Amino acid sequence: MLYCKDCKTAASESPCPRCGNSKLRAIEETDLVFLTVKDVVFAGMLEDVLADNGIPYKAKGMLGAGLSVKLGTVLERYVFYVPYSAHEKAEALLEELFPPEGEEVIIAEETDEE
Ligand SMILES: [Zn+2]
């Protein structure tokens, strides 16, 4: 497995499927890998589940402190990263918690369709 340092993604081949970076290196167990993006409410649930299962994680706010003060924390969304060694388990927990058919509403920010 390869690792894209730019967007923190595990990729099976180069270039990176998420950002197109072609300078990928071999992934290491301790590399932080992108897990998911959740809003405040779901981020809290996910944090609990990860903690209960002993999975270390990093959650980063997307808006940044300044903006979330201005817009209110309701709009803040969190990007979750977990070490590659725990990624598979974290993904399984994520699917249990948020089944794929229960697609959450994504705040429209970009649409590729005309
Ligand atoms: Zn990438």
Cα 16 to averaged position of ligand 1 atoms, centre (Å): 5
CA distances from 113 to 87, 108, 110 (A): 32, 12, 9
CATH architecture group of domain 31-102: 2-Layer Sandwich (3.30)
Please tell me the distance from the alpha carbon of residue 52 to that of residue 29, in angstroms, as a whole number: 21
Model pLDDT, residue 71: 57
CA of 90 to the centre of ligand 1 (A): 20
Angle at 68 between CA 67 and CA 70, to 5 degrees: 65
Q: What is the pTM of this model?
A: 0.76
> What are the domain boundaries of the chain?
1-28, 31-102
Q: How far is the CA of 60 from the centre of ligand 1 (A)?
A: 17
14 Cα–ligand 1 center, Å: 9
- Quote the ligand 1 centre to 47 CA distance (angstroms): 24
pLDDT tens digits for the chain (114 residues)? 999 999 999 999 999 999 999 999 999 999 999 999 998 889 999 999 999 999 999 999 887 656 555 655 567 889 999 999 999 999 999 999 988 765 555 555 555 666
Taking the C-alpha atoms of residue 55 and residue 82, their distance in angstroms, rounded to an integer, is 8
